[in-house]
Amino acid sequence: MNTNMKKYTVLAFGIAKDILGGRQCEIELPGNTVSALRTALVGQYPALAGLRSLLIAVNSEYAEDGVLLEERDEIALIPPVSGG
Amino acid sequence: MNTNMKKYTVLAFGIAKDILGGRQCEIELPGNTVSALRTALVGQYPALAGLRSLLIAVNSEYAEDGVLLEERDEIALIPPVSGG
Amino acid sequence: MITLSETPLDVQQIIQAATRLQAGAINAFIGTVRDNAKGKQVLRLEYEAYESMAVAEIQKIVDAAAAKWPLQAYAISHRVGVLEPGDVAVVVAVSTPHRADSFAACQYIIDTLKETVPIWKKEVLEDGEEWISAHP
Amino acid sequence: MITLSETPLDVQQIIQAATRLQAGAINAFIGTVRDNAKGKQVLRLEYEAYESMAVAEIQKIVDAAAAKWPLQAYAISHRVGVLEPGDVAVVVAVSTPHRADSFAACQYIIDTLKETVPIWKKEVLEDGEEWISAHP
């Protein structure tokens, strides 16, 4: 195992939950940015690439690509919202 | 009495009721148009001239100045409305 | 449903009357009596209507709204009589398939109601009373 | 008041929560489940929320609205879980001193809620199901 790999827990909702096969998954990646996480997730679950948008929230806030992740963060995959 | 005089019953609401001193009054005038009625009413109750507007409804419809009145019409004085 | 009422308005019932299964959006405007006006305390409002004409004029407004927006249903009720702060004076509720239309139609109806419908309001403040909008 | 609810929304209570004596105007938007979509019969909608974030995002929308309009009070409730045609999915109620602001603020809140708040809706029709807006 690459010593730079970090393990993140990712919550998934809506269609992302269906694509990941569950409300929560763990993913290891050689990086610690939001964009690295998104790339890894889309690599592992190609159907995510077909969504109209795919945002990532860190600790309940929408996070830009450059935001740095900590292993203890609450990370969530936010597919296109459709409330109301 | 002028044989051309006609007698109309006029309903009054809001501030017009206060000015006329009642919900209903009778007025005789030598004419049969809405404008003749308004002129006669303002002559008899000068405070009506101080209102922001003074419309006349005939049989529950707003009536233009030229509309002809019949003695049996339901005529109403409509001061500025303020519902809601 | 268009009504003038001498008794308190039931907001829930009026909204219910404007609800339809095929309409996804309901907008409701509720006008209440404020406890203050012109920096003074409001004691009460007295509403008076030329009732038959008022209902007919509201119907005209609804018909005009139905020509502009896909109204599925509507319910409009206005109080008459003596109202105190907190009382509901008017409720306009409309339903349309989609939400932007519900806002536009409801706002059109209440805005036009206040301009054309023969209803009058006397405001009784702590230091005097006035028929609203009567004078320039 | 901002709530997500697994039980039916009480429209009257939500509107009441947005009512203030000093506010003369209340606007309420009520989104209900339509019985039809794309020409098909709707069997049910399934709403799911990222609850902690959804409440925080709605609060941000309300704060932005309060900076634009003189909001006296607000109440926003959204259902989660399984809803059937006719059920109320969302209620947004706001009060302001005057009416134009109540329409503008309420419409801003529901429009923005639908764009930014992490709530998802799966539509189950007679012939299939779909997460709404998921795909281009």
- Is B1 among the domain residues? no
Q: Which of residues 15-34 of A touch D (CB under 8 A)?
A: 15, 17-18
Q: Chains contacting A with at least 3 CB pairs below 8 Å? A: D
What's the pLDDT tens digit per position in B19-68? 999 999 999 998 899 999 999 999 999 999 999 999 999 999 999 999 99
Residue C45 touches chain D, beta carbons under 8 Å: no
CB contacts, 8 Å: D27 with chain C: 27-30, 106
- Is A83 among the domain residues? no
Q: Supply the range of the domain harboring residue B31.
A: 6-78
Alpha-carbon distances, residue D34 vs A25, C14, C96 (angstroms): 34, 19, 10
- pLDDT tier at B3, thresholds 50, 70, 90: low
**What is the DSSP pairing of strand D40-49 with strand D81-83?**
antiparallel
Mean local confidence (pLDDT), A44-61: 97
- Is B49 among the domain residues? yes
Are residues C103 and D107, on separate chains, in Cβ contact within 8 Å? yes
Q: Is the pLDDT of residue C32 over 80?
A: yes
Cα(C17)–Cα(C75) distance, rounded to whole angstroms? 6
- Total length of chain D: 136
Query: What is the C-alpha end-to-end distance of chain B, expressed in Å?
Result: 45
* Burial group, residue A46, by CB count within 10 angstroms (0-12, 13-18, 19+): exposed
- Is B84 among the domain residues? no
Both structure tokens of C28:
């409701």
Mean local confidence (pLDDT), D72-81: 98
Both structure tokens of D91:
């209620």
Q: How many domains does chain A have?
A: 1
Instruction: Provide, for chain B, the percentages of residues in helix, strand and coil under a 3-state DSSP scheme, each rounded to the nearest 5.
Output: 25, 30, 45
CATH of the domain at A64: 3.10.20.30
Evaluated on CA atoms C54, C55, C56, C61, the torsion sign reads positive
Examine chains D and A and say if they touch (3+ CB pairs below 8 A).
yes
- Is B19 among the domain residues? yes
Q: Is the pLDDT of residue A24 over 60?
A: yes
Q: Is the pLDDT of residue C110 over 60?
A: yes
Are residues C103 and D106, on separate chains, in Cβ contact within 8 Å? yes
Are residues C31 and D25, on separate chains, in Cβ contact within 8 Å? yes
Give domain limits for chain C.
2-131
- Is B11 among the domain residues? yes
What's the pLDDT at B81? 98
Asked if residue D81 lies in contact with residue D46, where contact means CB atoms within 8 angstroms, the answer is yes
CATH superfamily label, D2-131: Molybdopterin biosynthesis MoaE subunit (3.90.1170.40)
H/E run at residue A40? helix A34-44
Cα(A58)–Cα(A73) distance, rounded to whole angstroms? 6
Burial B22-45 (b: 16+ CB within 10 A, else e): eeebebebeebbbebbbebbeeeb
- pLDDT tier at A30, thresholds 50, 70, 90: confident
DSSP 8-state assignment for residue A23: S
Question: Smallest Cα–Cα separation from D102: which of D29, D16, D4?
Answer: D29
What's the pLDDT at D41? 96
What's the pLDDT at A4? 74
Residue C35 touches chain D, beta carbons under 8 Å: yes
Question: Smallest Cα–Cα separation from D62: which of D74, D53, D52, D49?
Answer: D74
CB contacts, 8 Å: C107 with chain D: 99-100, 103
- pLDDT tier at D118, thresholds 50, 70, 90: very high
Q: Is the pLDDT of residue A58 over 90?
A: yes
- pTM here? 0.95
- Is A1 among the domain residues? no
* Residues facing D88 on adjacent strands: D32
| Min Cα–Cα distance to chain D from A73, Å | 14
Both structure tokens of D33:
């489940």
State the residue for tokens 């799911």: D48
Nearest CA in chain D to C12: D12
Q: Which residue in the set A13, A18, A52 is minimally distant from D118, CB to CB?
A: A13
Q: Which of residues 95-124 of C touch D (CB under 8 A)?
A: 97, 99-100, 102-103, 106-107, 110
Alpha-carbon distances, residue C63 vs C58, C96, D49, D97 (angstroms): 9, 14, 40, 29
Instruction: Provide, for chain A, the percentages of residues in helix, strand and coil under a 3-state DSSP scheme, each rounded to the nearest 5.
Output: 25, 30, 45
Query: How many alpha carbons fall within 13 Å on the CB side of residue A5?
Result: 9
pLDDT cut 90: percent of chain C above it: 96
What's the pLDDT tens digit per position in D25-46? 999 999 999 999 989 999 999 9
- DSSP code per residue over chain C: -EEEESS---HHHHHHHT--TT--EEEEEEEE--SEETTEEEEEEEEEE-HHHHHHHHHHHHHHHHHHS---EEEEEEE-EEE-TT-EEEEEEEEESSHHHHHHHHHHHHHHHHHHS-EEEEEEETTEEEETT---
DSSP 8-state assignment for residue D35: S
CB contacts, 8 Å: B78 with chain C: 50, 118
What's the pLDDT tens digit per position in C60-99? 999 999 999 999 999 999 999 999 999 999 999 999 999 9
Both structure tokens of C118:
């023969």
- pLDDT tier at C26, thresholds 50, 70, 90: very high
Examine chains B and A and say if they touch (3+ CB pairs below 8 A).
no
